[in-house]
Chains A and B, each alone.
Chain A
């Protein structure tokens, strides 16, 4: 199972919006509504930000939103803030009842 494809880095200024893509295949992202997104700050465990494509866990800001079209899922962060600077990873369920992560995206807030 190959890793899902994410851009290595994205950047934006405070207050702006950014979108991170996560591209897979019909056997993972495109086949199931089981895409999650995680935020990871240096030295910390990942934190669940979006689950099942577009749902936010309790406590996650509504500035974070998720969507999916075909084999590509997206995470959008609006109103960028300094504390959003982190690595972001997508994950998906696969046809073999396994999981797979994206390679990760480093978000820089300029």
Chain B
């Protein structure tokens, strides 16, 4: 069955960077986009961007363009999202999700909690 397994929780200081991984299994990794979504505590869902695994193309939400980088390693069916210059309001649960180009997410990772605190 389709599974997306994310890396574990992270605690970072303001100004630091974090890299979250998302390992896919149960399907052909290069056949579907990987999107990243975040959810701050008690808040709604926020779309961050997508990566197209077969060629590495990316597209980021305007709010994240200057400080997010999405990459992938097709040899291990894993996508990555790196956030730089972290601030306290970046504290959130970060999800990866499988979909086509448009946001139709039929499978989600378990979420990675990133806490930014001095």
Q: How large is the interface on B (under 10, 10 to 19, 20 to 34, 35 or more residues)?
A: 20 to 34
Residue numbers in A under 8 Å from B104 (CB-CB): 34, 36, 48, 51-52, 91
Which residues, 53 to 104 on A, are CB-close (under 8 Å) to B?
Answer: 57, 87, 89, 91-93, 96-104
- Is B108 touching A45 in the complex (CB atoms < 8 A)? yes
- Is A32 touching B102 in the complex (CB atoms < 8 A)? yes
Residue numbers in A under 8 Å from B44 (CB-CB): 3, 87, 89, 101-104
- Tell me the complex Cα distance, A36–B99, Å: 11
- Tell me the complex Cα distance, A97–B110, Å: 25
Q: Indicate whether A1 sits within 8 Å of B102 (C-beta atoms), given known contacts A38-B45, A45-B111.
A: no
Residue numbers in A under 8 Å from B101 (CB-CB): 93, 97
**Distance in Å from the Cβ of A92 to the closest Cβ of chain B?**
7
B103 proximal to A (CB < 8 A): yes
- Is A104 touching B102 in the complex (CB atoms < 8 A)? no
- Tell me the complex Cα distance, A46–B104, Å: 12
Chain A: residues with Cβ within 8 Å of the partner, total of 28
Q: Indicate whether A48 sits within 8 Å of B103 (C-beta atoms), given known contacts A89-B44, A102-B44.
A: no
Which residues, 84 to 107 on B, are CB-close (under 8 Å) to A?
Answer: 95, 101-106
5 A-B pairs with least C-beta separation: A99-B103, A93-B102, A104-B44, A34-B102, A99-B47
By a beta-carbon cutoff of 8 Å, the part of chain A in contact with chain B is 1, 3, 32, 34, 36, 38, 40, 45-48, 51-52, 57, 87, 89, 91-93, 96-104
30 contacts between A and B (CB under 8 A): A1-B61, A3-B44, A34-B104, A36-B104, A45-B109, A45-B110, A46-B45, A46-B95, A46-B105, A48-B105, A51-B106, A87-B44, A91-B45, A91-B47, A91-B103, A91-B104, A91-B105, A92-B102, A92-B103, A93-B101, A96-B59, A97-B59, A97-B101, A99-B47, A99-B50, A100-B47, A101-B44, A101-B46, A102-B44, A104-B45
